[in-house]
Structure 1
Amino acid sequence: MLTLTAPAVRLCDRVSRREMLHIGALGAAGLGLADLMRLRATGSENASARPNAQGKAKACIVLFLMGGPPQHSTWDPKPDAPSEVRGEFKPISTGVPGMQIGELLPKTAALAKHLCLVRAMRTGDNAHSSSGYYMLTGHPHVPMNMENANPGAPNNWPNFGSVLRRLATNARSLPAAVRLPHHIFNTDGSVWPGQDAGFLGRALDPWMFRCEPASPEFRIPEFTLSADVTADRLHARRSLLAQLNDHRASVEQSDALAPYDAATRQAFDLLTSERSRAAFRLDDESPASRDRYGRTQFGQSVLLARRLVEAGVQLVQVNWFRGPEEPSDAPCWDSHTKEAHRLRTALVPPFDQAFSALLGDLVERGMLDETLVLCLSEFGRSPKINAAGGRDHWGNVFSICLAGGGICGGHIHGTSDAVGGEPHDGTVLPADLLATLFQCLGYAPSTEMHDALGRPFPIARGEPIRGILS
């Protein structure tokens, strides 16, 4: 069910938001787009940016492994370090000379020629919420090292998906940026900052599709009309909205309602576009294809991301699934205890299967060269294994992985020190990572966006990682 709530604040053309909802009958439309349409005016004009000639990627898939994977057992093994640092897992060779990764990633290792490992990523922040905010926005949280941080000023820089929504100029039935299968949140349920549009306004939030795609009866409730709304009633309401728009032609400063126009149009398009609805039908995939990604919630979410990119979504962020099956002593990748067991059973194998399936699938479909793939987290893990057999939060240095559109495959950028505790060379900050993302998608980091007061800001304050761009 669609629920629209907003204070009765007058717009510049003397139509209140509440009146707008009443006139358009959207509050009772039963469109089933909950959480997607809680709109605010964006407060500034659409960006006039145009992709530059250097961008090679048309789309981006972000895999966010919330909790913080250990770099020592994945992308940056330290076989010569003491046992309390290197852990029990050994490195394995790949087809790229000099590139070794953890032994629990054999399927990914076979595709190493497509990978770019950044081994000197740094936030300098050891709290999930604030370090995550830094990675998702490119701006450090104020203050740093703050757990259970809440969204809001001064920490209201927009998520990279929201920036892309602002930059998007092509009409589309599916939004430019999508997240699934849920928000990133801490054990107490607090949602991280940096996942919304911040000062750009809620109308530009990346669209959230809450789902469990591995479930037998998987469907997106947002695509289902409520029981009391027939197709005829839906079209009648769209006709009523069109009449309202015709009336607005004589209203001064009618551009103030443009955010409502765009979002409402997308809502109707989602309900009526067969292409949009088909993108979410995982049953259209062969059983072998679904098995290839793994029948886990994460694996099927990654498969869904590929389908959404094929359907025209520019950016899909897949967050590691936090379900009731997660033990309380090690939620997600946050393995403070029994790390080796968790990595061997619940964490790395499902990731290796889904990630390698995605890369292989994109290659086979001829999509990898035009699809940027990022594997990120909020931080890594401490060099030394603790007394409980786990590793603790570590933002001083960690590793991420990139592949696809605009990225040099078979490449390593930066190094960490002998124990994987500090950067040795090639340090990359989140602002640099986001500058790289935008550059690959064809937008210069200096491209401007505007807040509600019309003040200009660059979409990224860092520099693209030049050594990894193809």
Structure 2
Amino acid sequence: MPANSPPSHPQISRRTAIEVGSIGLLGFGINHLDALRAEAAAPPKHKTAKSCIFIFLSGGLSQHESFDMKPEASAEVRGEFDPISTKTPGLKISEHLPMLAQRSHLWSLCRSLTHGSNEHSMGHHIMLTGRSDIPVGFNPSRPMSTDHPSIAAITGDVIQPRTNLPPAIALPDKIVHRTGRVIPGQFAGRMGSNRDPWIIEASPFHVQSYGAFPEYAFDHQQRGGEDNRIFQTPHLKLSQGMTQGRMSNRISLLEELGKQRQVLDIAGQVESFDRYRSAAISLLNDDKVHYAMDVTHADEKTQERYGKNSFGWSLLMARRLVQTGVNLVQVNLGNNESWDTHGNLFPHLKDKLFPPTDRAVSALLDDLSESGELKDTLIVMCSEFGRTPKISQLAKVYARPGRDHWGAVQSIFLAGGGIKGGRVIGTTDKVGGFPIDRPQKPENFAATIYRALGLPKTTYWHDDIDRPHFIYDGEPIPGLT
């Protein structure tokens, strides 16, 4: 991937692998463990066993083709897909989400989330931070230290870790534009880069291939070309000869890490290496962590249920991480704006994007429901915005029509964490362009997550100059619980 990460985000924790042996930690930001932070006068950490899996569809899911269909509208609005009935009387969704339709008793919708941006970077910042306002110094081309902190960063900062892993993790990659620029909104911003969320980078960057590789990889503009990416699940192990006895010896461990130093982007970071040793030891010795990460070697039946592709593996990893004790897992289903369907909207949703999403999210719902964990685990799924009511055709770029960016409304999927199934909050107008009933802001969306995590309204974080900031900027979306 192009080396274009912002200087405020240390390269050792974002772009490179700290290897202990031949496989290693593959992109873990081990310098961000709460146990290693040296913060003075930090606010108290909250203990909570509640969890959230935050599914983010970068690019913008079309509400018309998914959860807010308008079959009575004119052809230029309604599109090519037909609605189908769900298990909930009166609730209909896309015909290409049949597995979710059969599980509608487990999930609900908010069809009226709205904000004011039609631009990708600002839209990402708005939805990933839960803040509608534009921060001072916002730059759509790169994250800035003045950005609002992401929901994942806040969660990771205010919750006390339950395990060797941090309370919040993002996977399988950070969101990167095809040009190589890193999208704002994913990091800690004003909290300081030492509180960036962990990002497990298991999905290699590809400049023009999108979606759930290898099975469902595609190119929006159908230019051809190969996609040979491999989903690189992090395996944590010691190299041959590194026994438990040797691990207890500080010098041996540092020597072992030193053998792999050529893979590090060491500028400005090697002097901090010594204090990371305890994090490496705890992770290498934790069988639960090994199990959570090793999804491509899960049993065949499990992989088939979730899908043997980057979407299925990512949600299986998220499910295992929550089971291990991580409180919030942000799962990016498709990097590089995979859901940005300006053209070829209908074939790419039907054949490439909806099938792996429908399967993986349904498997996640089944697992959490059958285990009894769904009641304490919120699942949310959203994009940075929706799509325009009117279908458009960019003939010079795309073979078939699509829809453009639309911040005025999008549909949000919610399940578990106290959410009652089969409910629909909010209504849009007859063309699906604007909310006409119970509009909701991103601040309400974020508050819904924080409440489901069990965080009280008095919860706050400190910025890098010790000013307190309350995490709630809105009320949880009403009518869901």
**What is the TM-score of this pair, normalised by structure 2?**
0.78
Report what 1:161 is aligned to: 152
Shift of 1:267: 3.2
In the aligned structure 2, how far is the partner of 1:282 from the partner of 1:455? 41
SS at match of 2:54: strand
In the aligned structure 2, how far is the partner of 1:382 from the partner of 1:346? 21
Q: Do residues 318 (structure 1) and 331 (structure 2) align? A: yes
In the aligned structure 2, how far is the partner of 1:28 from the partner of 1:466? 46
User: What letter matches 2:121 in structure 1?
Assistant: S
Report what 1:137 is aligned to: 129
In the aligned structure 2, how far is the partner of 1:262 from the partner of 1:47? 23
Residues 32 and 225 of structure 1 are in contact (CA less than 8 Å); yes or no, is this contact kept in structure 2? no
User: What letter matches 2:422 in structure 1?
Assistant: G
In the aligned structure 1, how far is the partner of 2:389 from the partner of 2:139? 21
Q: Do residues 333 (structure 1) and 346 (structure 2) align? A: no
Report what 2:282 is aligned to: 269
Aligned positions of 1:107-146 closer than 5 A: 107-140=99-132, 142=134
SS at match of 2:115: coil
Shift of 1:188: 1.2
Q: Do residues 48 (structure 1) and 44 (structure 2) align? A: yes
In the aligned structure 2, how far is the partner of 1:139 from the partner of 1:260? 35
User: What letter matches 2:308 in structure 1?
Assistant: R
Report what 1:438 is aligned to: 450
Report what 2:29 is aligned to: 36
Shift of 1:409: 1.1
In the aligned structure 2, how far is the partner of 1:147 from the partner of 1:403? 34
When residues 455 and 130 of structure 1 are mapped into structure 2, their CA distance, relative to the original with a 3 A threshold, is same
SS at match of 2:44: coil
When residues 142 and 276 of structure 1 are mapped into structure 2, their CA distance, relative to the original with a 3 A threshold, is same
Report what 2:202 is aligned to: 211
In the aligned structure 1, how far is the partner of 2:98 from the partner of 2:27? 41
Moved more, 31-40 or 174-183: 31-40
Match for residue 349 of structure 2 among 328, 343, 351: 343
In the aligned structure 2, how far is the partner of 1:263 from the partner of 1:127? 39
Shift of 1:283: 5.5
When residues 203 and 227 of structure 1 are mapped into structure 2, their CA distance, relative to the original with a 3 A threshold, is farther
Q: Identify unmatched segments of 5+ residues in structure 2.
A: 1-6, 8-17, 204-211, 215-228, 255-271, 395-400
Shift of 1:95: 1.6
In the aligned structure 2, how far is the partner of 1:147 from the partner of 1:83? 38
Residues 164 and 177 of structure 1 are in contact (CA less than 8 Å); yes or no, is this contact kept in structure 2? yes
Report what 2:382 is aligned to: 376
In the aligned structure 2, how far is the partner of 1:98 from the partner of 1:260? 58
In the aligned structure 1, how far is the partner of 2:160 from the partner of 2:429? 44
Residues 203 and 263 of structure 1 are in contact (CA less than 8 Å); yes or no, is this contact kept in structure 2? no
Residues 61 and 339 of structure 2 are in contact (CA less than 8 Å); yes or no, is this contact kept in structure 1? yes
* Moved >3 Å (runs of 4+): 27-35, 37-46, 146-149, 212-222, 224-234, 238-241, 259-267
In the aligned structure 2, how far is the partner of 1:314 from the partner of 1:407? 17
Aligned positions of 1:8-19 closer than 5 A: none
Shift of 1:430: 1.0
Shift of 1:467: 1.5
In the aligned structure 2, how far is the partner of 1:426 from the partner of 1:261? 53
Q: Do residues 427 (structure 1) and 433 (structure 2) align? A: no
Residues 130 and 140 of structure 1 are in contact (CA less than 8 Å); yes or no, is this contact kept in structure 2? no
User: What letter matches 1:335 in structure 2?
Assistant: T
User: What letter matches 1:190 in structure 2?
Assistant: R
Shift of 1:386: 0.2
Match for residue 68 of structure 2 among 60, 70, 76: 76
Residues 219 and 280 of structure 1 are in contact (CA less than 8 Å); yes or no, is this contact kept in structure 2? no
Report what 2:50 is aligned to: 58
In the aligned structure 2, how far is the partner of 1:90 from the partner of 1:44? 57
Shift of 1:226: 6.3
Q: Do residues 362 (structure 1) and 362 (structure 2) align? A: no
When residues 153 and 166 of structure 1 are mapped into structure 2, their CA distance, relative to the original with a 3 A threshold, is closer
When residues 97 and 443 of structure 1 are mapped into structure 2, their CA distance, relative to the original with a 3 A threshold, is same
In the aligned structure 2, how far is the partner of 1:158 from the partner of 1:233? 40
Moved more, 398-407 or 280-289: 280-289
User: What letter matches 2:165 in structure 1?
Assistant: L
Report what 1:237 is aligned to: 250
Shift of 1:372: 0.6
**What is the TM-score of this pair, normalised by structure 1?**
0.80
Residues 46 and 167 of structure 1 are in contact (CA less than 8 Å); yes or no, is this contact kept in structure 2? no
When residues 263 and 425 of structure 1 are mapped into structure 2, their CA distance, relative to the original with a 3 A threshold, is farther
Report what 2:173 is aligned to: 182
When residues 233 and 401 of structure 1 are mapped into structure 2, their CA distance, relative to the original with a 3 A threshold, is same
Q: Do residues 352 (structure 1) and 337 (structure 2) align? A: no
Q: Identify unmatched segments of 5+ residues in structure 1.
A: 1-6, 8-26, 242-258, 324-330
SS at match of 1:116: strand
Residues 53 and 379 of structure 2 are in contact (CA less than 8 Å); yes or no, is this contact kept in structure 1? yes
When residues 366 and 131 of structure 1 are mapped into structure 2, their CA distance, relative to the original with a 3 A threshold, is same
Cα deviations by residue, 1:345-373 (Å, 9 ceiling, x for unpaired): 11111111111111112112222111110
Residues 180 and 211 of structure 1 are in contact (CA less than 8 Å); yes or no, is this contact kept in structure 2? yes
SS at match of 1:71: coil
In the aligned structure 1, how far is the partner of 2:67 from the partner of 2:150? 25
Residues 172 and 266 of structure 1 are in contact (CA less than 8 Å); yes or no, is this contact kept in structure 2? no
Report what 1:201 is aligned to: 192
Residues 112 and 437 of structure 2 are in contact (CA less than 8 Å); yes or no, is this contact kept in structure 1? yes
Identity %: 40
When residues 385 and 28 of structure 1 are mapped into structure 2, their CA distance, relative to the original with a 3 A threshold, is closer
Report what 1:392 is aligned to: 404
Aligned positions of 1:250-265 closer than 5 A: 265=278
Q: How many residues align?
A: 414
User: What letter matches 2:120 in structure 1?
Assistant: H
User: What letter matches 1:47 in structure 2?
Assistant: P
Shift of 1:46: 3.5
When residues 104 and 44 of structure 1 are mapped into structure 2, their CA distance, relative to the original with a 3 A threshold, is farther
Report what 1:294 is aligned to: 307
Shift of 1:205: 1.8
In the aligned structure 2, how far is the partner of 1:425 from the partner of 1:115? 20
Shift of 1:33: 6.4
Cα deviations by residue, 1:228-258 (Å, 9 ceiling, x for unpaired): 96655543128999xxxxxxxxxxxxxxxxx
Moved more, 212-221 or 268-277: 212-221
In the aligned structure 2, how far is the partner of 1:352 from the partner of 1:83? 25
User: What letter matches 1:392 in structure 2?
Assistant: D
Q: Do residues 412 (structure 1) and 424 (structure 2) align? A: yes
Residues 30 and 279 of structure 2 are in contact (CA less than 8 Å); yes or no, is this contact kept in structure 1? no
Report what 1:458 is aligned to: 470
SS at match of 1:373: strand
